Amino acid sequence: MNDKLAAIFKAYDIRGKVGEELTPEVCEKIGRAFADWLPEQGPVAVGRDMRPDSGELADAMIKGLTMQGRNVVDLGLVTSDMSYWAVGKYDLAGSAMITASHNPGKDNGVKLYRDKVIAVALDSGLDKIRDAVLADNFKPAAETPGTVEKHDIMDDWVEHCLTFVGDLKPFRIAIDNGNGMAGAVLPHILPKLPIQVEEMYFELDGTFPNHEANPQHVENLKDLEDKITQNNLDFGIAFDGDGDRAALVDDKGRPVLGSDTISIVSQYMLKKYPGAKIIHEVRTSRATQELIREWGGEPVRTKAGRVNLAPKMAEVDSPFGGETTGHQFFKDNYGADSGMITALVAMQAISDSGRKLSELVDEYHRYESAPEMSFHVEDKQGTIEKLREAFKDGTQDDLDGLTVNYPDYWFNMRPSNTEPVIKLNVEAKTKEQLDDLINRIKEVVG
């Protein structure tokens, strides 16, 4: 049982199958362990998404927190980025968000943040929370349980989001909410913007009846692409299940790659913060790094994973950081990521450019690339060492897995944190070079 329970504690959050791996009893224990571990005293926010069991799990989390004497701010139904922001806005000791993000409806999970809006990952406290849960080892329950205060933060959140936009063109766009949590926020924001919106799947439904709420998978963007091309719209936006990621589709119905979105937002941010350092991760296109330099900024590279970008931003005083999977981080949002703010800033950047989104994408997309590929291997590090030897004539670094650079192409191979899998990202000047590089890598991996 302990092995099964330990497995729900992932590198960046907690996720498991409801009823089998993640139960109210487990959430109560997580709440107790989180309350005990948090370095700062003070209240803890608890939010939840629209999944059928999220309310029950949130109640259990609140029970565990209050049992240990923690006061709780019950946020109710919110997007994940609202729960992160609440920690900074209301100076809380932390937050627990009940969500499995884009995972199927049979899954659920918990995203934890501590004070100063710092994500709690396996190497920064989640391991200690896990160990306490596995050992059933908590401080004695408080003589006086903590209190619970319900707090509706929607108006404050909407006001905050709107500070990221100014004068916008009267765009005609489509938004695919995927039945996720952003559907609770959009009706409060859209009437305040000079745009016409084709609304798609705005109803909150944690069973995701229309398609998986993961815009990183292109098959989930098909309905949005069709809506854009059939109605001759300016572009489209898709949100993931818990609303902390947004993806773009251009006026030609083409999904915009994460690196190209980082480029679009980076140009806007560098006009606002000239000469700034822009954070990106190891999978980011070489074109994005080149463009940041051309626009007078300094690209700063870090490990992939949403828990790595915000600390790097704080370290080098960066106003913006982007991850290719769609997580975009803003200093003016307490360094946290937000799908809604990404959508608004991207909209503002497109508006200010005076050009079509497709024109920006065509200009910024300088290299050929392939979708991230996964290889099942038993010896992840051994396979990476084989690649290191096979490509020893390239410039190599080990910031996150193995990255090998050549003048005309590069690749990064990273081991998965949770599976016997290594993940390949690759880019080249031409399609022929790209295909050749992929084939060479496949020969080594076997």
Catalytic amino acids? 101
What distance in Å separates the CA atoms of residue 94 and residue 116, rounded to the nearest whole number? 8
E-only strand ranges, 358-435:
368-369, 373-376, 395-397, 402-405, 409-415, 421-428
CA angle 334, 337, 343 (to 5 degrees): 115
Q: What is the DSSP string of 21-54?
A: TB-HHHHHHHHHHHHHH-SS-S-EEEEE-SSTTH
124/307 Cα distance (integer angstroms)? 10
Q: Which residues have CB under 8 Å from 66's CB, separation 6+?
A: 72, 145, 146, 147, 148
Nearest to 83 by CA among 99, 67, 100, 95: 95
The C-alpha atoms of residue 417 and residue 423 are separated, in whole angstroms, by 11
Q: CA-to-CA distance for 389 and 444, rounded, in angstroms? A: 10
